[in-house]
């Protein structure tokens, strides 16, 4: 791996931008995980145009195994670990059993996932509304013909 300035192009194939609109093209054909020199991980994945929520949940679960293990003891299945009664995560954090930095990152990722899920729900609702509108227009046209 090349040392600074390090570029993703050194390890991943990248494509030139299109002349017309200067937009990039997708070149990633398989999933790969990279450790960034400044710290942190980069997940490169094809088809990130639509977020794969199940993959994300799996990734968070495997990266934060120790927190997930504690979270299983929370009183409620849908505990968001935001000060709910009987939250095992909050209790473990208070007893210094969890790394506060990792816990912060974990909660951030969970919140991000929730936002992404909401975006997907919204998108599906719009698609459904579009489908209904399309049918209405088709029916209207049929009526006009007969
Ligand atoms: Zn909890």
> Taking the domains of the chain in order of start, what are their residue ranges?
7-49, 52-136
Transcribe 110-140 into DSSP letters: HHHHHHHHHHHHHHHHHHHHHHHHHHHHHHH
pLDDT tens for 35-61 read 777 877 777 776 554 556 667 777 888
Q: Rounded to the nearest whole angstrom, what is the distance from the C-alpha of residue 36 to the centroid of ligand 1? A: 31
Instruction: Kindly report the number of other CB atoms within 10 A of residue 77's CB atom.
Output: 7
Task: Enter the DSSP assignment of 39.
Answer: S
pLDDT tens for 109-136 read 888 888 888 888 888 888 888 888 888 9
| Most trustworthy range by pLDDT among 14-18, 69-73, 124-128 | 69-73
Nearest residue to 90 (alpha-carbon basis) of 67, 111, 109: 67
Q: Taking the model in full, what pTM does it have? A: 0.53
Q: Rounded to the nearest whole angstrom, what is the distance from the C-alpha of residue 127 to the centroid of ligand 1? A: 34
Q: Using the predicted structure, report yes or no on whether residue 11 has a pLDDT greater than 70.
A: no
Q: Rounded to the nearest whole angstrom, what is the distance from the C-alpha of residue 41 to the centroid of ligand 1? A: 26
Was domain 52-136 assigned CATH 3.30.1520.10? no
Sign of the alpha-carbon torsion through 21, 23, 25, 26: negative
Q: Rounded to the nearest whole angstrom, what is the distance from the C-alpha of residue 124 to the centroid of ligand 1? A: 29
Residues within 5 Å of ion ligand 1, judged at the Cβ atom? 74, 79, 81, 87, 89
Q: Using the predicted structure, report yes or no on whether residue 5 has a pLDDT greater than 60.
A: no
Q: Using the predicted structure, report yes or no on whether residue 7 has a pLDDT greater than 70.
A: no
């Amino acid at each position: 791996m090349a040392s600074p300035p390090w570029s993703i192009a050194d390890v991943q194939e990248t494509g030139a931008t299109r002349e017309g609109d200067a937009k990039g093209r997708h070149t990633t054909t398989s999933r790969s995980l990279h450790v960034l020199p400044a710290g942190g991980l980069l997940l490169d994945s094809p088809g990130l145009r639509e977020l794969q929520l199940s993959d994300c949940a799996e990734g968070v679960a495997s990266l934060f195994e120790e927190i997930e293990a504690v979270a299983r003891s929370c009183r409620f299945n849908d505990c968001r670990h935001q000060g709910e009664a009987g939250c095992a995560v909050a209790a473990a954090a208070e007893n210094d059993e969890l790394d506060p930095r990792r816990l912060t990152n974990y909660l951030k990722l969970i919140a991000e996932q929730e936002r992404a899920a909401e975006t997907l729900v919204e998108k599906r609702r719009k698609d459904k509304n579009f489908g209904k509108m399309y049918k209405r227009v088709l029916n209207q046209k049929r009526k006009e013909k007969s």
